[in-house]
Amino acid sequence: MSDELLATVGDNCIDRYLHLNKSAVGGNAVNVAVHLSQLNWNCAYFGAVGDDSDGHRTRDVLRANRVDLGPLTTLPGITSFTNLDIDETGDRIITQEDFGVCADYYPSDEDIARLAAKRHIHIGWFQHSSRLRARLAGAAVTVSQDVAVNPDDGGLDIAFGSVGPSMTAARDKIDALLRAGNKIAVVTCGPLGSVASDGGDLLTTGIKPVDVVDTTGAGDTFIAGFLDAWLRAAPLQHCLDAGRDNAAKTCTHLGGFAQAYESLGSA
């Protein structure tokens, strides 16, 4: 495992698959942290869980995946959850979402100092992302963020966005992200693949065909694969391809990463 320390900040949740009577630990920041750890990076997760059974479960699952839990905080209240189901066309839908104690989480001054000393930080869904980035201004750490779920303030080292299956919309989003002052813009567009640019040529990659079981967390896994290649100084095209390949693996199982699933009765 690399000694260089990475971090993710933000959401965790219990994904409840109502149609399957199963649940899994997930969330953007958690999924990215797990996959970076699986890619042999030393990654810490900064977030909060509730003082409930789901909070204990989240800790156990992350610990089993070698994520550094030193910054993980337990707060009074419930751990975040998302209820997922399928509609009449077979598409996945969110029927209920409660951010629980994640909504109130903000790193302590000590944790912000720890974040400033990391090599790279990825921000998932995080209500106070703008405030945190302002506190980190001037630090040597590089920062990426999922701007599909956070305000886009610009100025990121990497901005990850998403649009529907339209290359025109993807190009427009790339242009908007670069105009906002982000150094690299990366946009996924569902079955059409993904695009990226650092202000030069627009690079594209398709999807890797697999037998899809579930797409939950595939975008988060794409982010981890892209970051792994980028942190190893790979060319931008290779970073896109690495994200694609990593996301494809996640589509072959339930949830954002393979784990021991629980029935909803025991979750």
The reported pLDDT for the residue numbered 126 is 96
pTM: 0.95
Q: Which architecture, in CATH terms, is 2-263?
A: 3-Layer(aba) Sandwich (3.40)
Q: Is the pLDDT of residue 172 over 70?
A: yes
> What average pLDDT does the segment 204-228 reach?
93
> What average pLDDT does the segment 159-179 reach?
96
Give the model's confidence band at 49: pLDDT under 50 very low, under 70 low, under 90 confident, else very high.
very high
Q: In whole angstroms, what is the distance from residue 1 CA to residue 232 CA?
A: 13
The reported pLDDT for the residue numbered 9 is 98
> What average pLDDT does the segment 58-87 reach?
96
Q: Are strands 194-197 and 184-188 parallel, antiparallel or unpaired?
A: antiparallel
Site of tokens 């839990």: 69
Q: Parse the chain into domains and list their residue ranges.
A: 2-263
Q: Is the pLDDT of residue 266 over 70?
A: no
